Amino acid sequence: MPGPAATAGAALGGVTLAHCLAYLAALPAEAERHSHMTATGHGSFPMLVAVASAAAGAALLAVSLRALGPAAALGVVPTAARLAAIQVPGFALLELIERRMGVGSALADPAVRVGLVLQVLVALGAALLLRGVERTVGAVARRRRRDGRAVLALPRRGSTISLAPRATLLAAAPRRAPPLPLATT
């Protein structure tokens, strides 16, 4: 299973993704969806999407770094179960907070009911994605070790990275001048 930080990041990303998908599925018309989300307290949702995106990216990075070492492989089913156990109540709590703890209005909303089911499916998808990232990074690391190359080569202190002044592909191309100004008549 991923570590606590990767699990939390993946779960936050999963809650948000399933939340978006649920509202898209339950309310496909943009105007209706917008007015419904405004009426049900989703004003801070763009900020949640930004935070969740960063957290999901951090989870992918954590799993990638974990794959560089001799850690045990992620199990898809235990990871999905763990994510779903966090995402389903997390989504329910988020909806209750958005509705000022209105349980009746939350349960009456088709987007919430769809969202609860989608949390489990997104948790499974996230577990598969995490396992795929882990396997891919692990395979690349093993190949680099086998070839005698560094697995993670970081620049040394004081070293500089030299960039060619012009890409090789463009070396033979003639240089262009800036465009001529438009003539006025």
Does the pLDDT of residue 37 top 60, yes or no? yes
Q: What is the 3-state secondary structure (H, E, C) of 84-125?
A: HHHHHHHHHHHHHHHCCCCHHHHHHCHHHHHHHHHHHHHHHH
Does the pLDDT of residue 81 top 90, yes or no? yes
The residue-averaged pLDDT of 73-93 equals 92
92 close to 86: Cβ distance less than 8 angstroms: no
State pLDDT tens for residues 114-156.
Answer: 999 999 999 999 999 999 999 998 888 888 778 877 666 666 6
Which of 3-7, 35-39, 161-165 has the least mean pLDDT?
161-165
The residue-averaged pLDDT of 155-166 equals 60
pTM: 0.73
Q: What integer pLDDT is reported at residue 88 of this predicted model?
A: 95
Q: Name the packing angle between helices 110-146 and 45-67 (round to 10°).
A: 30
Q: What integer pLDDT is reported at residue 139 of this predicted model?
A: 87
Whole-number average pLDDT of the chain: 83
161: three-class secondary structure by DSSP: coil
User: What is the band of 100 on the pLDDT scale with cuts at 50, 70, 90?
Assistant: confident
Q: Between these two residues, 171 and 104, which has the higher pLDDT value?
A: 104
62 close to 2: Cβ distance less than 8 angstroms: yes
Instruction: Provide, rounded to the nearest whole percent, the portion of the chain with pLDDT above 90.
Output: 32
Q: What integer pLDDT is reported at residue 166 of this predicted model?
A: 52
User: What is the band of 90 on the pLDDT scale with cuts at 50, 70, 90?
Assistant: very high
